[in-house]
Homo-oligomer: A and B are copies of this chain.
């Protein structure tokens, strides 16, 4: 075979000199520690640039909104893994994060992809209401769910949505992406005759797009936020363990049902 073209390894993320630590070109000790918030550090890590106050406010809100969702499957996973391997706190959190997939976390990604695609191509100059109607029509004709639109589990409006949109607007980060996701909600409601508001993942996808983040980074934002939440669940599991009870009940019920099936005539 032909020789492979080798390529140098380069990264701007972080390196050390004798007396300093540089992160994406910024001096950790002089310009970061005691000066940047964790959300600003996340911005520096993800984009390679220093956040403005507005970007910092909005990214912080997106992250905070995604931290905690109660006793989710991911929280159960982290707690059950800690039960099995209490010596590996990191593996318990990692196991939980493996579940930040398409079922619960993927829809903000999908919403971001839709608005970013529409707003970077030829549709960019058309009225948002027209673009929205086309997007809705295409999804309905292909029987595909529109990500970011529609009822959450328990209530007509997700109370987080208006607050997130307000924070974005107050920080000058509400533009055509937010307009488009709202227009899609209107068009979808008209086309179906149902009440289909923007849900929290739609808001997050649109606002992340206003921040200029690539749609793939929506998953990254969910992962950071959920990591905070899973460490929280671990801290509570250490104080007030429930994983063993969840396991014992499941095992007992499965065993009882299996034995019942064995002795019954089949």
A-side residues, CB < 8 A to B, are 1, 4, 6-23, 25, 28-29, 32-34, 36-39, 41-42, 44-48, 57, 60-61, 63-65, 67-77, 80-81, 83-105, 153-155, 159-160, 163-164, 166-167, 214, 216-217, 219-225, 227-229, 231-236, 238, 240, 242-243, 245-255, 257-259, 261-262
Q: A34-B163, A167-B34 are in contact. Are A46 and B254 (CB under 8 A)?
A: no
Q: A98-B98, A254-B10 are in contact. Are A85 and B76 (CB under 8 A)?
A: no
Q: Which residues of B contact A38 (CB under 8 A)?
A: 37-39, 42, 60, 63-64, 67, 225, 228
Q: Which residues of B contact A6 (CB under 8 A)?
A: 245, 249
Q: Which residues of B contact A153 (CB under 8 A)?
A: 16
Q: Which of B11, B101, B227 contacts A223 (CB 8 A)?
A: B227
Q: Which residues of B contact A22 (CB under 8 A)?
A: 258, 262
CA distance A130 to B98 in the complex (A): 42
Q: Could you say how many copies of this chain the assembly holds?
A: 4
Q: Are B89 and A216 in contact (CB under 8 A)?
A: yes
- Across the A-B interface, give the 4 residue pairs with the lowest CB-CB distance, nearest first: A85-B101, A45-B232, A84-B99, A90-B100
Q: A84-B101, A93-B223 are in contact. Are A8 and B257 (CB under 8 A)?
A: yes
List 16 A-B pairs, Cβ < 8 Å.
A11-B254, A13-B233, A14-B71, A15-B254, A15-B259, A33-B65, A38-B60, A38-B63, A42-B67, A71-B254, A74-B80, A80-B80, A84-B101, A88-B88, A89-B220, A220-B231
Q: Which of B72, B88, B236 contacts A48 (CB 8 A)?
A: B236
